[in-house]
DNA sequence: CACCTTAACGCAATTTTTTAGCGTTAGGCG
DNA sequence: CGCCTAACGCTAAAAAATTGCGTTAAGGTG
């Protein structure tokens, strides 16, 4: 799973770059069950033993690549209000994760033995929600609770993607956000 | 994935039984990354080629075993009331799934390529919830909606188990059930 | 800047796993 | 009882994973 490298520059970095890029390209073309370490090694121009020594096995490499792909490159879009911010973000999240590559990424991340990859990609989601929460607070809106957002919105989406028992349509995602924010309103009305 | 066997009895069934049992025993002793097909074959007294032909590869076999283990053997406990029924069931569910073997089962199920295993083990949960729902209706209680129960209670538990961002303690599970039933009460109060 | 240390790599031999052909065994059915 | 063939065992060949050892090149030091 790409332990923290003692040497971060030069050849080592170039190889990581080449291998990651090769894996991503392969994931687009061939089915994941067809992908092998020697195949990746050849296309990336490295020796298989290098991959084995550095990542351990194929599943760890795939998990590493998946986490790298999930690393956020930008903050979620600012739509001007908390509700629409959450809706847009979650709809987009569901779209990305329910796609073929998204599903593959989640699968790879969860297959990683240590579970460290899962925790990290979970942090990415928390970070985005935190951004939205602070943005709402800065606007003067009463900010939402992040743990509750995960329980009421993120978790259902992820569950249905993983277990394939329901399609996470945009409408469904918006209804989740609606229920989430609605439950807060009703709660505050009752106390 | 153990395609529906054309021959269900006799030798074929004995081999499936032996292989399944061997896998379960191995999962208790050795780490999953150590388990190999030849290892299972030897302990089960069959040839590796039999396993490869029947299950495809190791991950499919593990998924098949996991689904078989998750197959319900009994209905959830009847505690006399819908709320306590749900609480007991979900607390027990969280305990089983967050254990080491439970996590391994979920991981194996989700790693299965076709996702057919995931859908099936998802059906088991739905079936149990359906039992609780009918039981509640028979008592005269207003039955809960199963999809909402999945979204509000099951999904968060599963999410936290998979991503290891939170421990699904009994108290936490009960609070999920409480919020779920509470949201229904508040909703009906507002209409 | 030249040198030293050693992490990380390439190569190749070995081991293990996976695949595939082919004959054999034993369910299930007429 | 006897036929048909799904499913198995065995074996050989192919592919993948592991390991030892020499080589390359980061990154630090005098």
Give yes or no for CB of A41 within 7 Å of strand D: no
C-alpha pair distances (Å), A148 with each of A79, A110, B71, B72, B106: 21, 22, 31, 30, 24
User: Does residue A100 carry a pLDDT above 60?
Assistant: yes
Instruction: In whole angstroms, give the CA distance from residue A172 to residue A179.
Output: 11
* Cβ-contact B5, B12 below 8 angstroms: yes
Decide if A190 and B190 are in contact by the 8 Å CB cutoff. no
> What is the average pLDDT across B88-113?
95
User: Does residue A1 carry a pLDDT above 50?
Assistant: no
User: Does residue B65 carry a pLDDT above 90?
Assistant: yes
Instruction: In whole angstroms, give the CA distance from residue A158 to residue A161.
Output: 5
Q: Where are the domains of chain B?
A: 10-56, 70-190
Instruction: In whole angstroms, give the CA distance from residue A149 to residue A5.
Output: 35
DSSP at A151: I
Residues of chain B in contact with residue A166, where contact means CB-CB under 8 angstroms, are: 147
Whole-number pLDDT of residue B32: 93
Q: How many CA atoms lie within 13 A of B58 on its CB side?
A: 12
**What CATH architecture does domain A71-190 belong to?**
Orthogonal Bundle (1.10)
C-alpha pair distances (Å), A50 with each of A2, A38, A53, A67, A189: 12, 10, 5, 20, 61
Instruction: In whole angstroms, give the CA distance from residue A108 to residue B18.
Output: 30
* Cβ-contact A22, A36 below 8 angstroms: no
> What is the average pLDDT across B87-94?
98
Residue A3: pLDDT band with limits 50, 70, 90: very low
B10-56 in CATH: which number?
1.10.10.60
B70-190 in CATH: which number?
1.10.357.10
Q: Report, in ranges, which bases of strand D sit under 7 Å from a protein C-beta.
A: 6-12, 15-20, 25-27
Q: What is the 3-state secondary structure (H, E, C) of chain B?
A: CCCCCCCCCHHHHHHHHHHHHHHHHHHHHCCHHHCCHHHHHHHHCCCHHHHHHHHCCHHHHHHHHHHHHHCCCCCCCCCCCHHHHHHHHHHHHHHHHHCHHHHHHHHHHHHCCCCHHHHHHHHHHHHHHHHHHHHHHHHCCCCCCHHHHHHHHHHHHHHHHHHCCCCCCHHHHHHHHHHHHHHHHHHHHHC
Instruction: In whole angstroms, give the CA distance from residue B98 to residue B164.
Output: 9
**Mean pLDDT computed over every residue of chain A:** 93
> What is the average pLDDT across A127-154?
98
Instruction: In whole angstroms, give the CA distance from residue B128 to residue B119.
Output: 15
> Which residue pairs from B1-5 have beta carbons closer than 8 angstroms and sit at least 24 positions apart in sequence?
B1/B55, B1/B56, B1/B60, B1/B63, B1/B64, B1/B112, B1/B114, B1/B116, B1/B117, B2/B54, B2/B55, B2/B64
User: Does residue A125 carry a pLDDT above 80?
Assistant: yes
Q: Who among B110, B113, B163 is closest to A33 (CB)?
A: B113
Closest CA to B106 of A118, A100, A70, A95: A118
**Mean pLDDT computed over every residue of chain B:** 93
Whole-number pLDDT of residue B6: 60
Report helix, strand or coil for A18. Answer: helix
| Residue B8 CB-density burial (10 A; 0-12 exposed, 13-18 middle, 19+ buried) | exposed
Q: How many residues does chain A have?
A: 191
> pLDDT (tens digit, 9 = 90+) per residue, B10-62?
889 999 999 999 999 999 999 999 999 999 999 999 999 999 999 999 999 99
User: Which one has a higher pLDDT value, A93 or A116?
Assistant: A93
> What is the average pLDDT across A152-172?
97
Decide if B119 and A152 are in contact by the 8 Å CB cutoff. no
Residue A190: pLDDT band with limits 50, 70, 90: low
Measured CB to CB, residues of chain B less than 8 Å from chain A are 32-33, 57, 107, 110-111, 113, 115, 118-119, 121-123, 126, 147, 150-152, 154-156, 158-160, 162-166, 176, 179, 183, 186-187, 190
Decide if B159 and A164 are in contact by the 8 Å CB cutoff. no
Whole-number pLDDT of residue B151: 98
φ/ψ region of B140 (left if φ > 0, alpha if ψ in -120 to 50, else beta) reads left
φ/ψ region of A115 (left if φ > 0, alpha if ψ in -120 to 50, else beta) reads left
Whole-number pLDDT of residue B139: 97
Whole-number pLDDT of residue B115: 77
| Residue A191 CB-density burial (10 A; 0-12 exposed, 13-18 middle, 19+ buried) | exposed
User: Does residue A27 carry a pLDDT above 70?
Assistant: yes
Decide if A126 and B165 are in contact by the 8 Å CB cutoff. yes
């Amino acid at each position: 799973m790409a332990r923290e490298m003692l040497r971060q520059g030069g050849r080592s970095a170039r190889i990581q770059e080449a291998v990651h890029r090769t894996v991503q390209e392969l994931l687009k073309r061939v089915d994941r069950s067809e992908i092998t370490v020697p195949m990746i090694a050849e296309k990336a121009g490295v020796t298989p033993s290098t991959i084995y020594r550095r990542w351990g096995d194929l599943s760890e490499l795939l998990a590493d690549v998946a986490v790298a792909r999930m690393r956020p490159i930008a903050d979620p879009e600012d739509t001007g209000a908390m509700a629409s911010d959450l809706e847009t973000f979650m709809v987009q999240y569901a779209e990305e994760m329910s796609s073929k590559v998204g599903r593959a990424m989640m699968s790879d991340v969860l297959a990683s033995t240590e579970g460290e990859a899962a925790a990290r990609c979970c942090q990415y989601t928390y970070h985005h929600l935190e951004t939205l929460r602070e943005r709402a607070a800065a606007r003067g809106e009463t900010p939402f609770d992040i743990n509750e957002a995960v329980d009421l919105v993120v978790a259902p989406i992820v569950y249905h993607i993983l277990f394939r028992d329901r399609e996470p349509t945009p409408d469904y995602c918006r209804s989740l956000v609606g229920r989430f924010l609605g439950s807060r309103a009703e709660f505050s009305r009752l106390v």
